[in-house]
């Protein structure tokens, strides 16, 4: 088990390294840097001014060097202008040039400064990830049990009226994009159009204090969309298990239908959906952006969009590291859980 | 429990009819089926696939699925009609009074539940006993089915047990509540012969111990003879003959039963002088049954306007014990008339050596765990394999699963390369040439007929196209028209109508598909054809025809046939020489007569004893091999067979455990890999003796 975990963590680091390098390269392409300079400086900068802006801020140097600096492998750049004002990667607000460390990169725990929010990247990501994490937690709590329940109920008697009803429902929810279902939900439950006004149409308040009223609609919107997919997978797995010979064995042992489903079919039917559920988590992390925008809930997805549209190099890099860690961590949990569910697989 | 004072039958099936309903039509699966099983009696139900025998079993269990329904008749279990019982009543009977044992033990056990929990469940639901009492019962029953170390087995998952052990668990599960009736649906089909023999031995012993009545479903007449008291032969949904084993085997009164016996290789059959007689034609589809006698179109004794006039009832054969036949003419047919002599073939001449295998070795390196890696281990699949095969010869390679026979086939075909030793084909070494580096000539001269014809044909390509494709690959014929002509010739060769060229594989029966496989193998004028269990997936009546076809083409083309099989009856029937393998070693090689007569290698002796023979005139010595074949990853030291050998005590010292026996020449090319002294070998008695007729 331990060597397996070590290998997995190593793989995770390697993937993060590759992915951040690609993001680094893309964000450091000349047109992107020019755009950065013009948004941070003024739009009316001449080409020469742009070049000098990039020069004085350390952008106009070779890519591998900049990347190594970001990682914290080599000493950071410094610049001294003609007036003797020192600038540098590690020299920022409140840090005098003399006190600045030589290296300041990811390895030193410094994720850099966001150019959009003018805040350290680690603080922004920490705050936004917590907000999205809160949303995801409630979504998973609603989505997974109901999806499994729908899937199992539909799959245990394939072709029955219950199966057809539940299948239609899950196909319909998956086929409806979040921006449609979200708008419908707002119209029905939060506007004067129908007049129910049970919930709030915005979740801004939920960022501080999540309540039933302001958090139900965003959670429901994502849960509905994700649920159908998991439910379909569960249904297929369950239907297949129910035709297996060992289910016939159980039936001909004299077990009641409930006991067959509960004791014999369930564990075998959960193996396939488990992987799918774990794959849903990274999707939730990035895919919630529509719902976050719709309900004005400033989470991780919203941050990612802000970073991308403003070519905020440091923030984008931070976001991609988080994404890699989440994807590989959920895959690790999925593999370990797979072993626990399926006794035929053992970790060496 | 059986009420010993009650003389009434345990199970009485009366004119049972079962149909499956599809959207288009009703498909009758079983028609007018009657049977009686008395306490302690074992009834065998024999027939080919699709004859409805499993449907009868599921009908008794009232588990016919959504589409199946009993359309007539009654199934009375201890006097209660099961067809009229409600779900709760059926649940009380299932598992406690009627238990079932299935064909595939692995699939019948829940993979995610320990064996112990699956066993304990049965008495816990039916008798409401405590977990502790159920566990004690489970330990008891596991001892009864002769599994070692019951405590460990109870905590194991099914996949941690071997096939034979799994089947014993399924049997144990059926016995947990001491049922009055046991239904066994092809319980040994998925097992090796020696394991099959041990399981059959066990079932028979348990039947006597618990006084359980049995319904034994099988396609293997030999097995039925060993297990059952009475027999019912089914054909196309109907019981055609029933009676005691002795009556049906020796005084059969239905043409189908007779044809069935004539198509299986019994001792005495020989490919040249007494060939098997295949049943002509095909099994009728359930919705295309002929009027009158279902067997009529394939019957030698058929009389128009009589046999096809109307339904034929089961009629009693006078003089015998509850013997019945569904044949109008059973009184008129001369049942003792000798089989009309088929033309005898001159035995093919054995030519010069074609294939020489010298000390061939194939080792695999495997990771202990596929998903997560782990320690590498070496599997010694083939160990110093040496033999010569000649032109026009049939060399049988015999052994149980895991003995390395399929690995050898792969190395010969070039799907794997050898670790050591050599394979010479017409003098050229090919053991290190993978298939992609072999020239067209070499590929077309070493071909294979596969075991499962259902999976080896491309389902979306017509038959003719598939054969033409083989011709293209082998570069036979220069033009498309030339290849087409050759393709039609090949269809003639395997006795398929030329119209089949445009058919799709799904429109063909199993036997017809295997003929296509044969046509493909011989398309490029093969020198050597490896037939890997070519008929074991086919029905008995078709087996004979396919085997004969293979022999005939071989005789014409003077091909060397390597016939891989575990079925010793068919091996004895068709092969010139036999090679017996165990755990990667050749333990015995010789002509068919030499191998099938003493002195034997101890493993060959056990194999011969394990093969069920459907002939009441044959007496067989009873040798049961205990335990399983050791893992090839961890073979025993010394002789590979020493862990299961009953002759080991006769060898002085610990020679068997320390030293690999040398290959010894016993005269006339007969070689045995055994430490037994000459005089001990000479003392061996024949396993099978034919009573003088």
Q: Which long-range contacts (CB under 8 A, 24 or more apart) does B551-558 make?
A: B551/B271, B551/B394, B553/B493, B553/B494, B553/B518, B553/B522, B554/B348, B554/B392, B554/B394, B554/B529, B555/B345, B555/B348, B555/B392, B557/B522, B557/B525, B557/B526, B558/B348, B558/B351, B558/B391, B558/B392
Q: How far is CA B310 from CA B30, B283, B303, B306, B327, in A?
A: 17, 19, 13, 8, 12
Chain B positions touching A254 (Cβ under 8 A) are 91-96, 122, 125-126
Q: Do B113 and A249 touch (CB under 8 A)?
A: no
**What is the structure's pLDDT at B666?**
83
Instruction: With a cut of 60, say whether residue B15 has pLDDT above it.
Output: yes
What is the pLDDT averaged over residues B370-382?
A: 66
B173 touches chain A (CB under 8 A): yes
pLDDT-based confidence at residue B343 (cuts at 50, 70, 90): low
Q: Do A254 and B91 touch (CB under 8 A)?
A: yes
Q: Do B94 and A254 touch (CB under 8 A)?
A: yes
d(CA B349, CA B339) in angstroms, rounded, equals 27
B62 - beta bridge partners? none
Q: Are A277 and A144 contacting, i.e. CB atoms less than 8 angstroms apart?
A: yes
Residue B112 C-alpha, separation from nearest chain A C-alpha, in angstroms:
6
Instruction: With a cut of 70, say whether residue B344 has pLDDT above it.
Output: no
User: Using CB atoms, which residue from A246, A250, A267 is nearest to B107?
Assistant: A246
B587's tokens: 């333990």
Q: What is the pLDDT of residues B636-646, one digit of tens each?
A: 888 888 888 88
**What is the structure's pLDDT at B348?**
67
pLDDT-based confidence at residue B342 (cuts at 50, 70, 90): low
A142 - beta bridge partners? none
Give the ipTM of the model, two decimals please. 0.76
User: Using CB atoms, which residue from A245, A267, A347 is nearest to B108?
Assistant: A245
Q: What contacts A195, CB < 8 A, 6 or more positions away?
A: none
Q: How far is CA A103 from CA A107, A111, A238, in A?
A: 9, 12, 55
A317's tokens: 């890099």
User: Using CB atoms, which residue from A4, A245, A251 is nearest to B102?
Assistant: A245
A8 touches chain B (CB under 8 A): no
Q: For chain A, list residues with pLDDT below 50.
A: 348
A275 touches chain B (CB under 8 A): no
Q: Are A154 and A235 contacting, i.e. CB atoms less than 8 angstroms apart?
A: yes
Query: At what angle are helices A121-156 and A271-287 packed, to 10 degrees?
Result: 140
The CB density around residue B350, as the number of other CB atoms within 10 Å, is 16
Using DSSP, state whether B608 is helix, strand or coil. helix
CA angle, B100 as apex, A262 and B161 as ends, to 5°?
A: 70
**What is the structure's pLDDT at B414?**
86
In angstroms, the first-to-last Cα distance of chain B is 43
d(CA B199, CA A70) in angstroms, rounded, equals 69
The CB density around residue A97, as the number of other CB atoms within 10 Å, is 14
DSSP letter for each residue of B287-335: GGPPSS-TTGGG-TT--TTTTTSS----EEPTTSSS-EE--TTTTTS-T
Among A329, A306, A309, CA closest to A124: A306
d(CA A146, CA A155) in angstroms, rounded, equals 14
Phi, psi torsion values for A197, nearest 5 degrees? 50, 40
Q: Are B561 and B351 contacting, i.e. CB atoms less than 8 angstroms apart?
A: no
Half-sphere exposure of B562 (CA within 13 A, CB side): 28
Superfamily of domain A121-347 in CATH is MetI-like (1.10.3720.10)
Residue A144 C-alpha, separation from nearest chain B C-alpha, in angstroms:
22
d(CA B361, CA A255) in angstroms, rounded, equals 51
**Cα torsion B89, B93, B96, B99: sign:** negative
The CB density around residue B331, as the number of other CB atoms within 10 Å, is 11
User: Using CB atoms, which residue from B92, B122, B368 is nearest to A348?
Assistant: B368
Chain B positions touching A244 (Cβ under 8 A) are 107
d(CA B130, CA B124) in angstroms, rounded, equals 7
pLDDT-based confidence at residue B232 (cuts at 50, 70, 90): very high
Q: What is the pLDDT of residues B540-569, one digit of tens each?
A: 778 888 888 888 888 888 888 899 888 888
Nearest CA in chain A to B367: A348
Domain boundaries, chain A: 2-108, 121-347
d(CA B645, CA B74) in angstroms, rounded, equals 50
Using DSSP, state whether B396 is helix, strand or coil. strand
Residue identified by tokens 């199946």 is B68
Q: What is the mean pLDDT of chain B?
A: 84
Instruction: With a cut of 70, say whether residue B4 has pLDDT above it.
Output: no
A249 touches chain B (CB under 8 A): yes
**Cα torsion B534, B539, B543, B546: sign:** negative
Please give the distance of CA B342 from its chain centroid, rounded to a whole number: 26
Over B614-670, what HEC string results?
CCCCEEECCCCCCCCCCCCCCCCCCCCCCCCCCCHHHCCCCHHHHCCCCEEECCCCC
Burial (CB < 10 A; 0-12, 13-18, 19+), residue B589, is: buried
Query: At what angle are helices B602-610 and B193-210 packed, to 10 degrees?
Result: 50
Q: Are A146 and A224 contacting, i.e. CB atoms less than 8 angstroms apart?
A: no
Q: How far is CA B336 from CA B55, B221, B251, B605, in A?
A: 34, 20, 9, 34
Q: What is the pLDDT of residues B234-275, one digit of tens each?
A: 988 888 898 888 888 888 888 888 888 888 887 767 777 677
Q: What is the dihedral of CA B323, B329, B335, B337, to 10 degrees?
A: 180
User: Using CB atoms, which residue from A245, A267, A348 is nearest to B107?
Assistant: A245
Chain A / chain B CB contacts < 8 angstroms: 85
Q: Do B111 and A259 touch (CB under 8 A)?
A: no
Residue A252 C-alpha, separation from nearest chain B C-alpha, in angstroms:
5
Q: Do B159 and A344 touch (CB under 8 A)?
A: yes
Nearest CA in chain B to A270: B112
Q: Is the peptide bond before B599 cis (omega within 30 degrees of 0)?
A: yes
d(CA B519, CA B393) in angstroms, rounded, equals 19
Using DSSP, state whether B674 is helix, strand or coil. coil
Chain A positions touching B110 (Cβ under 8 A) are 246, 249-250, 264, 268
Phi, psi torsion values for B293, nearest 5 degrees? -70, 125
Among A131, A70, A54, A178, CA closest to A285: A131
**What is the structure's pLDDT at B370?**
46
Kind of pairing between the strands at B353-367 and B420-425: antiparallel
Alpha helices in chain A (DSSP H): 2-27, 30-40, 47-56, 63-71, 121-156, 161-175, 178-189, 204-208, 212-242, 245-252, 257-259, 266-269, 271-287, 289-294, 300-309, 313-341
Residue identified by tokens 């003797």 is A84
Alpha helices in B161-192 (DSSP H): 163-175
d(CA A75, CA A90) in angstroms, rounded, equals 9
Using DSSP, state whether B66 is helix, strand or coil. coil
Mutate to test the interface with B, among A6, A161, A250, A252 (most CBs of B within 10 A): A252
Among B135, B214, B213, CA closest to B176: B135
Kind of pairing between the strands at B11-21 and B68-77: antiparallel
Q: What is the pLDDT of residues B651-692, one digit of tens each?
A: 887 888 888 888 888 888 888 888 888 888 888 888 887 765
**What is the structure's pLDDT at A166?**
92
Kind of pairing between the strands at B213-218 and B42-46: parallel
Residue identified by tokens 């083409």 is B553
């Amino acid at each position: 088990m331990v060597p397996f975990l070590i290998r997995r963590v190593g793989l995770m680091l390697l993937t993060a390294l590759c992915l951040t390098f690609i993001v680094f390269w893309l964000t450091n392409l000349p047109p992107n840097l020019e755009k950065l300079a013009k948004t941070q400086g003024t739009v009316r900068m001449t080409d020469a001014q742009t070049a000098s802006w990039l020069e004085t801020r350390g952008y106009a140097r070779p890519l591998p060097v900049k990347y190594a600096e970001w990682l914290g492998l080599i000493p950071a750049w410094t610049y001294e202008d003609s007036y003797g004002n020192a600038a540098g990667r590690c020299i920022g607000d409140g840090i005098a040039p003399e006190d600045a460390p030589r290296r300041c990169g990811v390895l030193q725990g410094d994720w850099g400064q966001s150019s959009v929010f003018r805040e350290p990247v680690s603080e922004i990501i920490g705050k936004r990830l917590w907000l999205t994490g809160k949303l995801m937690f409630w979504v998973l709590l609603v989505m997974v049990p109901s999806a499994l329940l729908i899937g199992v109920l539909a799959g245990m008697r394939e072709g029955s009226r219950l199966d057809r009803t539940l299948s239609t429902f899950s196909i319909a929810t998956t086929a409806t994009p979040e921006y449609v279902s979200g708008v419908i939900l707002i119209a029905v439950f939060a506007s004067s159009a129908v007049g129910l006004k049970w919930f709030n149409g915005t979740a801004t308040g939920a960022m501080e204090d999540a309540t039933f009223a302001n958090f139900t609609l965003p959670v429901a919107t994502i849960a509905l969309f994700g649920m159908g997919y998991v439910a379909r997978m569960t249904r297929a797995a369950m239907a297949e298990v129910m035709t297996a010979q060992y289910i016939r064995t159980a039936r001909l042992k004299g077990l009641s239908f409930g006991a067959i489903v509960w004791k014999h079919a369930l564990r075998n039917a959960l193996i396939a959906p488990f992987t799918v559920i774990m794959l849903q988590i990274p999707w939730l992390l990035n895919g919630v952006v529509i719902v976050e925008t719709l309900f004005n809930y400033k989470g991780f997805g919203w941050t990612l969009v802000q970073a991308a549209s403003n070519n905020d190099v440091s923030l984008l890099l931070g976001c991609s590291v988080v994404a890699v860690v989440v994807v590989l961590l959920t895959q690790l949990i999925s593999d370990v859980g797979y072993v626990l569910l399926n006794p035929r697989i053992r970790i060496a | 429990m059986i009420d010993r004072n009650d003389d009434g039958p345990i199970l009485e099936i009366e004119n049972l009819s079962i149909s499956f309903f599809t959207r288009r039509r009703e498909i009758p699966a079983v028609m007018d089926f009657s049977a009686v099983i008395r306490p302690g009696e074992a009834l065998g139900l024999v027939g080919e696939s699709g004859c409805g025998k499993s449907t009868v079993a599921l009908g008794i269990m009232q588990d016919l699925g959504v589409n199946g329904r009993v359309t007539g008749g009654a199934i009375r279990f201890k006097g209660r009609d099961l067809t009229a019982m409600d779900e709760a009543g059926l649940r009380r009977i299932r598992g406690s009074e009627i238990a079932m044992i299935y064909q595939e033990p692995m699939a019948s056990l829940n993979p995610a539940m320990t064996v112990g929990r699956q066993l304990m469940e049965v008495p816990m639901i039916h008798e409401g006993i405590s977990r502790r009492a159920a566990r004690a019962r489970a330990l008891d029953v596991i001892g009864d089915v002769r599994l070692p170390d019951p405590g460990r087995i109870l905590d194991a998952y099914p996949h941690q047990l071997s096939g034979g052990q799994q089947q014993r668990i399924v049997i144990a599960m059926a016995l947990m509540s001491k049922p009055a009736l046991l239904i066994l649906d092809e319980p040994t089909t998925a097992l090796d012969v020696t394991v099959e023999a041990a399981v059959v031995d066990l079932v028979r012993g348990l039947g006597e111990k618990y006084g359980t009545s049995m319904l034994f479903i099988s396609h293997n007449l030999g097995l039925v003879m060993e297990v059952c008291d009475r027999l019912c032969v089914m054909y196309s949904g109907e019981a055609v003959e029933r009676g005691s084993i002795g009556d049906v085997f020796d005084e059969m009164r239905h043409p189908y039963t007779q044809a069935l016996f004539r198509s299986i290789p019994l001792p005495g059959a020989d490919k040249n002088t007494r060939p098997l007689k295949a049943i002509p034609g095909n099994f009728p589809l359930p919705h295309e049954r002929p009027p009158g006698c279902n067997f009529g179109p394939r019957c030698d004794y058929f009389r128009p306007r009589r046999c096809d006039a109307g339904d034929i009832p089961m009629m009693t054969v006078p003089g015998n014990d509850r013997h019945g036949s569904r044949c109008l003419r059973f009184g008129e047919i001369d049942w003792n008339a000798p089989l009309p002599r088929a033309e005898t073939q001159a035995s093919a001449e054995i030519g010069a050596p074609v294939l020489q295998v010298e000390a061939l070795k194939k080792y695999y390196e495997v990771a202990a765990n596929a998903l997560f890696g782990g320690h590498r281990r070496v599997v010694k699949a083939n160990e110093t394999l040496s033999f010569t095969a000649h032109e026009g010869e049939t060399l049988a390679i015999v052994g149980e699963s895991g003995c390395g026979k399929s690995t050898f086939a792969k190395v010969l075909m070039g799907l794997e390369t050898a670790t050591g030793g050599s394979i010479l084909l017409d003098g050229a070494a090919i053991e290190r040439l993978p298939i992609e580096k072999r020239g067209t000539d070499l590929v077309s001269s070493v071909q294979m007929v596969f075991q499962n014809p259902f999976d080896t044909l491309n389902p979306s390509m017509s038959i003719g196209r598939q054969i033409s494709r083989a011709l293209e690959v082998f570069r036979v014929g220069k033009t498309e028209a030339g290849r087409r002509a050759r393709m039609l010739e090949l269809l003639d060769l395997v006795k398929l109508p030329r119209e089949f060229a445009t058919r799709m594989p799904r429109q063909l029966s199993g036997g017809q598909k295997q003929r296509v496989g044969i046509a493909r193998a011989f398309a490029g004028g093969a020198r050597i054809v490896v037939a890997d269990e070519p008929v074991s997936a086919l029905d008995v009546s078709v087996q004979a025809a396919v085997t004969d076809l293979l022999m005939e083409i071989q005789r014409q083309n003077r091909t060397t046939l390597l016939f891989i099989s575990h079925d010793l009856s068919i091996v004895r029937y068709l092969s010139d020489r036999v090679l017996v393998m165990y755990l990667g070693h050749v333990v015995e090689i010789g002509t068919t007569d030499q191998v099938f007569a003493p002195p034997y290698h101890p493993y060959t002796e056990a194999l011969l004893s394990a093969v069920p023979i459907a002939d009441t005139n044959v007496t067989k010595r009873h040798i049961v091999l205990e335990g399983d074949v050791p893992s090839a990853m961890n073979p025993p030291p010394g002789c590979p067979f020493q862990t299961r050998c009953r002759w080991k005590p006769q060898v002085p010292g610990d020679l068997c455990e320390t030293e690999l026996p040398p290959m010894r020449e016993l005269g006339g090319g007969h070689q045995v890999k055994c430490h037994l002294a000459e005089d001990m070998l000479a003392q061996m008695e024949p396993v099978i003796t034919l009573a003088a007729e």
